[in-house]
Structure 1
Amino acid sequence: MMDVPRHTGRRLAETEDQLITRMLGHPTFPAPLRGLWYSPALPGPPVPQPSRFRDATNTGLARLGITETDLAEYTGPGGYDRGGPYLIEDQVIGVDIRLYNSVQMTIRRCKILAHIDVDSVDAALTLEDSHVDAGPWSNAAIGFQNLTILRCNVQGGITAVNGSYNVVVQDSYLHGQVISAAGSDHAGGFLCSGGGNIELRGSTIWCSVQDNGHGGGPSNNLNLFGDLGPLRNIRVKGCYFPATAGGYSVSLGHNPGKPYGDNPAGIVFVDNVLGRDLQTGRGGAYGTVTSFLASEPSNLYAGNVWADNGQPVPVNT
């Protein structure tokens, strides 16, 4: 780690997290469900975890009691195309990080006020206990392949994470997308437009933006779309999907009108908790879970329940 000056950053409003906290305290929220949606943590600092949804208080720097004043200012490059493996720890990073060729990088306990791109099929990133805030950005806060994201708070961009191949997101909070006030951007929590070997575990995945009145707004919390390639072996377990203003909470890949939307396979969506609008009874404007191909033997939908009463969430409604 470089010996660089200290840096004091800004604090962010946490109205979304206050909303989740209120939901947890609601008298109709079933106590037996608390803790269902967390898988065992991968190796990391031994910090006690409360049995609750992932939010800004128990992911990223806040989970460890770290603030920006505890971090140094990063003065390194943005692009890495050779050498390594690299380790960046305990810093405030204000430049976009891009990994090329076969560069391997670990970022740990950092605040990233920019976006991160893994732009090569051979490059890889491990991101631990960090807070990414990409702000207004026309793509993902973090993309695109060979990503391991553990215990992180990820916000900004039009989607929090855009993953294609070899992606793990565990015990993290994906939220706070940013769209233009007058554009037609469509936002989401997690997006895969083709790919596989993806694991989403124990995380809160929320498309929290609202319609902008000009054709832009939220799509879904989870977007599996066969636009660029087939969808194979994508497993989602123990996650929380709050109610969203988007069309659906979760879209699971069966979209015959798309180039690769006919036969998503190995799509496993189990033991998740879904929020809904108490007036409409739906997780999104039109429904909750859509585009699940039940006729494919390798696909599985089971054990998914409503946050407000613990009852099963029907599929394709």
Structure 2
Amino acid sequence: MPPTPHTPVSRRLARLAPVALLAAGLTAVTLTGPAPAVPTADSQRAAATVGAFGKGQPSGVVVRRGPSREVGMRFSPKVDGKVVGVRYYKPLAWKAATPRSATLWSAKGKVLARTSIKPVAGAGWQSVRFSSRAKLTTGKLYVVSVHTRTKGIHAATPDGFAKGHSTAQLRVPRGRNGWTSVSDKPTFPTSQARGDANYWVDVRFKPGTSTQDPTPTPTPTPTPGGWPGPDNTGVPAGTVLAPYTGPCTITSARTISGADVLSKCQDALVIQTTGVVIEKSLVPGVWSIYGDGDSSVTITDSDVRAGAVSTAGIWGYNIKASRVDVTGGQHSFQCNNNCEVTDSWLHDQHNPDGGSFHNNAFISNGGHTMVVRHNTLHCTSILNSTDGGCSGDLSLFGDFDPIDDVTIDNNLFKANNSSISYCLYGGASSSKPYQATNVRVTNNVFERGANRRCGVYGPVTSFDSNASGNVWTNNTWDAGGAVTPSRG
């Protein structure tokens, strides 16, 4: 029998050690990373350059560890232009996972540009800039690489170069294209990658000969079918944030637009009234918990950076959120009653070493009237030594009140085979005092991940198809095929 949601994570995983614990030095993850918290001048310049891979979530990412090494790839420009810097995919939030340096090389190993990299927290695509630009010639081969720190942490996708990559400006040849060398200092990578892996090191290439950075254009509203992520959630690119001068506890209706609230209100923005609107802003946690339902907030096109708190990034009653990028907090979004979250990216929850949080991207411990539609839901925490880890991407638990009237439609449930028991808990757990009714789960996609099950035990549990008003329709795996619910 599968465990209850609050069984210590380490005990759950012990039963599936061959699945959950891979060979030493290779840990399976499917991580996404946060967009930059504030659109800095350098991130705006990055938006004006092009790369070989785009800015979406890399597929099939694993985390490799070991001795310090250089990792990178070969590429050639299809047009003349200049390289202004490097992009690299950082698979873990630890600062120790930050590379030490980035280098652009000629095909014969001559250094054309190099920069050191300061340790940064957070996972996902990161950008660095060279102090001078390196001019490239159409059709010639070049190598771009980063040098890892002492733990040797870097991202890799095995067989990532089984197919070539090509854009209008850049070409990455097929096969024998991932390169590495073990070294204590930056060195030209000369060994072919194990399994022809893609290490997700990319260039920031500016076609043509202009030395001016064009004005970046705002991020468009996401189109149907495109999953929310770093390119279509959060503060739109090019937005200039002004210092926030208002209160951190809001007691009268107001609109906060284009503001850096996080610098002033580092713990949370507490809503104690109705009619509050937040748009295109950088905010800490947003809590609408006043008077058991006497507050409300609408938040759009914003970054929520909840940080190291043991509560949720967005939490409470009467909340409407759209195109938000939420990181930090024990949970990304915790709903009591009357919540709607759409077109948003919930990821990278807080679970420190030594902690034992049970994380979720979206959770309700009892409540009614919820809509969760077209989001990327990703509980990213990895099992730690003190039973800390994920419960699920989305969890409905009847702990304090019945769960009722919930729409879960057209979401991407991301895999986490190292921590999540199930990607979805449907509210029908026999260990809870209240059971769920009128839960409609439709048109969702479940990522299989490394163990092909989304979670450690499977994609979904605690969903009672016979309960009043419950519906399960057209929920599929990312590679095709129906996902079948389980009562558990």
What SS does structure 1 have at the residue aligned with 2:381?
A: coil
2:241 is aligned with 1:71: yes
What SS does structure 2 have at the residue aligned with 1:267?
A: strand
- Structure 1 position 250, deviation (Å): 0.4
Q: Which amino acid aligns with 2:484?
A: P
Q: Which amino acid aligns with 1:291?
A: S
Counterpart of 2:466?
295
**Whole-Å separation in 2 of the counterparts to 1:19 and 1:285:** 25
What SS does structure 2 have at the residue aligned with 1:20?
A: coil
- Structure 1 position 310, deviation (Å): 1.7
Q: Which amino acid aligns with 1:305?
A: T
Alpha carbons 2:330, 2:350 under 8 Å: kept: yes
Q: Which amino acid aligns with 1:141?
A: G
**Whole-Å separation in 2 of the counterparts to 1:72 and 1:108:** 13
Q: 1:53 to 1:8 in 2, by over 3 A?
A: closer
Q: Which amino acid aligns with 1:258?
A: K
2:455 is aligned with 1:284: yes
2:420 is aligned with 1:246: yes
Alignment deviations for residues 215-236 of structure 1 (CA, whole Å, 9 cap, x no partner): 1111110010000100000110
**Whole-Å separation in 1 of the counterparts to 2:447 and 2:388:** 23
Alpha carbons 1:271, 1:303 under 8 Å: kept: yes
Alpha carbons 1:7, 1:73 under 8 Å: kept: no
Q: Which amino acid aligns with 1:77?
A: P
1:1-317 pair list within 5 angstroms: 20-22=57-59, 47-50=220-223, 51-61=225-235, 64-67=236-239, 70-81=240-251, 83=252, 85-94=253-262, 95=265, 96-100=268-272, 102-112=273-283, 114-120=284-290, 121-244=293-416, 245-260=419-434, 263-278=435-450, 280-307=451-478, 309-316=479-486
**Whole-Å separation in 2 of the counterparts to 1:10 and 1:153:** 20
Superposition TM-score, scaled by structure 1 size:
0.82
What SS does structure 2 have at the residue aligned with 1:165?
A: coil
- How many residues end up aligned between the 2 structures? 278
Counterpart of 1:30?
none
Alpha carbons 2:55, 2:231 under 8 Å: kept: no
Q: Where in structure 1 are there 5+ consecutive unaligned residues?
A: 1-5, 12-16, 28-44
- Structure 1 position 46, deviation (Å): 9.7
**Whole-Å separation in 2 of the counterparts to 1:71 and 1:130:** 11
Higher Cα Rg, which structure? 2
Superposition TM-score, scaled by structure 2 size:
0.54
Q: Where in structure 2 are there 5+ consecutive unaligned residues?
A: 1-37, 44-53, 62-156, 162-217
Alpha carbons 1:7, 1:92 under 8 Å: kept: no
- Structure 1 position 93, deviation (Å): 0.7
Q: Identical aligned pairs, as a percentage?
A: 28
- Structure 1 position 19, deviation (Å): 7.5
Alignment deviations for residues 104-150 of structure 1 (CA, whole Å, 9 cap, x no partner): 200000011x2111022121000010011111110100111100001
